[in-house]
Amino acid sequence: VLLAMEQEDFCDFEVQFEIAHNFINAHIGGFELYSMSSLKYAAFDPLFVLHHANVDRIWAIWQALQKLRNKPYLTANCAQGLMQIQLSPYNLTDGINRYSNTKGHSEPSQVFDYRPNFNYDYDNLDFNGLTVSQLFKLLEKGKARDRVFVGFKLHSLGQSVVTKVQICRDFNNLFQNDLDQL
């Protein structure tokens, strides 16, 4: 989540935060049909509500960081066309979606600013005991350090996936553990 918070535009934030979001979905209930890793059934899990309430709160913290950075926080700099398309099933009528509020806010661009659109706010935006200003300073320190990132592109799987990455610091002993197990 800290890597997502570092990002200074929506599109980079969204990619990094999706990774953290999916991690929880993949680990709650495993990979069974009715688990949180299943796109068809995840929303029926009570933990889904708790998880996504926290997702929303982290979104609000990132927006507060963007304000502090003097960067845009109510727009996306990518997927502009997709931001204006109403999402299904929220845009449906004919008895499927009887709630005008969800239909009225079914475009992603309409929910960037949650305060006036949904009439709620948070008591505080502390992140693990840090205020937004303290979090900003922590993130800036982290960005100054050397890091390596690995990414995986998973096409049309329809569920969350857990991958295991191992890093070997000593190339000479790269296969030693495998040999020891023979």
Tell if the pTM clears 0.85, that is, is over it: no
Residues (pLDDT < 70) of the chain are: 149-154, 157-162, 168-182
Residues pairing with 159 in the sheet: 38
Number of other CB atoms surrounding residue 132 within 10 Å: 19
* Model pLDDT for residues 84-107, shown as the tens digit of each residue: 888 877 777 777 777 777 777 788
Rg of the chain on CA atoms, in Å: 20
127: β partners: 130
Residue 8 has a CB neighbour count (10 Å cut-off) of 12
Q: How far apart (Å, rounded) are the C-alpha atoms in residues 107 and 37?
A: 24
The residues near 106 (Cβ < 8 Å, ≥ 6 apart) are 86, 87, 90, 91
Give the C-alpha separation, 127 to 20, whole Å: 15
Answer for the pair 69, 7: CB distance below 8 angstroms, yes or no: no
pLDDT at 108: 84
Query: How many whole angstroms separate alpha carbon 150 and alpha carbon 113?
Result: 32
The structural domains of the chain, ordered by start, are: 2-75+112-180 (1.10.1280.10)
> In whole angstroms, how far apart are CA 92 and each of 43, 95, 149?
18, 8, 40
pLDDT given at position 164: 73
Instruction: Calculate the average pLDDT of the chain.
Output: 82
Q: Taking every pair of C-alpha atoms in the chain, what is the biggest distance, in angstroms? A: 66
